[in-house]
Amino acid sequence: MAKIIGIDLGTTTSLVSYLKNGKPEIIPNKLGKRLTDSVVGIDKYGSIIVGEEAKRILNGTKIEEIKRFMGTNKIVKLENKEYSPEEISAEILKKLKEDAEDFLGEEVDEAVITVPAMFNSIQKAATIKAGEVAGLKVERIISEPTAAAMAYGIDNMEKYQKILVYDFGGGTFDVSILELDDGILDVIATSGDNYLGGKDIDEILIKNIPVKIEDDIEKVKLKLEVEEAKKRLSTLMGTDIIVPELNIDYELKREEFEELVSPLVNKTIDFIDKALSSAKLKREDIDVVLLVGGTTRIPLVQETLKNIFGSKVKKFADPQEAVALGAGVQAGIKSSEISSEDGLIITDICNYSLGVASIGEYQGIIMPDTFSVIIPKNSNLPCTKSATYYTATDNQTSVNVKVYQGENKLAYENLFLSEFEVEEIPKNKAGAESIEITFGYNINDILTVEAKILSTGISKSIKIELNSKNKGNQEKKGSTYKNSSYYSEYKIIMEMAEDKMSKLSGKDKVKVSSILEKMKEMLVSENKEELDKLDSTLTDLLFEV
Ligand code: ADP
Ligand code: MG
């Protein structure tokens, strides 16, 4: 029987594992390394290369951090050929599959792949698609913190405990709170930032070096050097960043480094508190804190967490391997090498609310397009929930069911997923006919929506499999701004503005909301210059009002 592998398809690095005698093991790549850089490039002979060799390409023919664009319509170019994010991710997966087959000496055609906790359904669907393009049947998608907790839990399963997974990687930061009870692992809250990681630390260090960079080649050289220096500072108290071609010979002490990065580390603590408050827990309620991701090797990160959580902070032998090891455990459960009866069972949660547009109250006004949530955010998956709606007008014979995903009170401000028409409602007085809408959401992100006319029993249902058609809608509805690589820079001010809106009225409200809308547009078109201007206008305005 062909083997199932577990894959951590990371923004920066990717890893593969498999189950060997009941324990997950990392599969090294053909270079003998356990980590494969998530970089795709073209060598001078025109062939696609993946990994370390691609990362070291100095001119423009390589693509990094494609994971940031999963689920968007972004097109990237390698030489003259255009690729979708799924196709580039598929190249990485193909390489991981080949290396695994080479190591195992047998064919591999199934995988469990991990994704960040905050990935929405479209991003997950794009990941499944990438797997298919690479010739892998994706058995299951699990969230990275869940996988890490599984890798930890496998040796400590008997005890009831609340686990906080702190995953600080190269491109993303995720915090999740999980409950482990009698072998059942349950995610109870997630928070984080898809745009906060080691790369942002590298950028801060680059900005701190007094040098003018002339071209892309210089920039790449400096980036590679700075990242290595940063890694050295995790064990040394000081280091030199030397790039002879750029006349750089710069000494960086651990102390200065820590001053520069502490704002980012503090940001991650805010996310911990957010996750705790959404789980209705206090810091003291957590039993174990797991450090995951390469950036947790930084001593300041470890110390900051130890100051808060003391000896509850646990490290993996290698924080970059935890997620892949957990994916390997899950792959083992799938292939029945580990029985789910004596192994771990994971449940997943729905990260976004799902619902329909309906007539409802918004800021004291009855409106046609309010968002009526059927499956609330953080519900356990799989999950089935229903709500009943009534006809709004006399002799109404049909109703249009519009399905959305998101947290906004107005339906159209959320991500539009699909719609369908329910007909043949018996003619009757307004409010006399009722339609029951049932949402069923399974662990692989297939949403079934059924609408049933209760008086006749006639029903109609659709399955929402998220595909390229939905992505187009996402673009139109303007929700893609959160996928912009600049979003993290403006996130705080935008969220402040959104919070403040409810307390504002009249002109102030109009001003704030129009700047916010403009910023969302500029995020989609990635117009940084305009964004900076809007950001400072908005900051001033919020200060005034
Ligand atoms: P991702 O999950 O985003 O793919 P990883 O968990 O593999 O990322 O972490 C990659 C990040 O970890 C990179 O930014 C890298 O520079 C950083 N990193 C790796 N080793 C160290 C170290 N010793 N000290 C500090 N940062 C490190
Ligand atoms: Mg990771």
**pLDDT tens digits, residue range 91-107?**
999 999 999 999 999 99
- Active-site annotation holder among 37, 86, 139, 144: 144
Of the bound ligands, which one is closest to the alpha carbon of residue 65?
1
Q: For residue 200, what are the contacts with CB-CB under 8 A and spacing of at least 6?
A: 264, 488
350 versus 318: the higher-pLDDT residue is: 318
Place of tokens 């997966």: 93
SS3 383: strand
| DSSP conformational letter for 393 | S
Minimum-distance ligand 1 atom for the alpha carbon of 12: 4
SS3 219: helix
In DSSP notation, 299-349 reads: HHHHHHHHHHHGGGEEE-SSTTTHHHHHHHHHHHHHTTSS-TTTS-EEEEE
User: Ligand 1: which residue has its CA nearest to atom 24?
Assistant: 231
Parallel, antiparallel or unpaired: strands 13-20 and 3-9: antiparallel
CA 194 to chain centre: 6
User: Ligand 1: which residue has its CA nearest to atom 5?
Assistant: 169
Q: For residue 281, what are the contacts with CB-CB under 8 A and spacing of at least 6?
A: 162, 177
- Contact by Cβ (8 Å): 455, 424: no
In DSSP notation, 61-101 reads: -EEE-GGGGTTS---EEETTEEE-HHHHHHHHHHHHHHHHH
Alpha carbon of 364 to ligand 1 centroid (Å): 49
- Contact by Cβ (8 Å): 435, 452: yes
Residue 336 has pLDDT above 70, yes or no: no
Per residue in 210-260, pLDDT (tens digit) is 888 888 889 999 999 999 999 999 999 999 999 998 999 999 999 999 999
525 band by pLDDT with thresholds 50, 70 and 90:
confident
Minimum-distance ligand 1 atom for the alpha carbon of 35: 7
Residue 473 has pLDDT above 60, yes or no: no
Average pLDDT over residues 29-36: 97
116 band by pLDDT with thresholds 50, 70 and 90:
confident
67 part of the active site: yes
Kindly give the residue spans of alpha helices, DSSP state H, lying in 209-321: 216-232, 254-278, 299-309
What percentage of the chain has pLDDT greater than the value 90?
Answer: 56
Whole-angstrom distance, CA of residue 300 vs CA of residue 236: 13
**What is the pTM for the complete model shown?**
0.69
Q: Lowest-confidence range among 47-51, 142-146, 376-380, 531-535?
A: 376-380
pLDDT averaged over every residue in the chain: 87
240 part of the active site: no
Which tokens go with 536?
A: 């400072």
For residue 466, the model assigns a pLDDT of 46
348 part of the active site: no
Place of tokens 């619902």: 355
Ligand 1 neighbours (beta carbon < 6 A):
10-13, 169-172, 197-199, 227, 230-231, 234, 293-295, 297-298, 320
- Active-site annotation holder among 86, 99, 110, 167: 167
User: Ligand 1: which residue has its CA nearest to atom 26?
Assistant: 295
Residue 475 has pLDDT above 50, yes or no: no
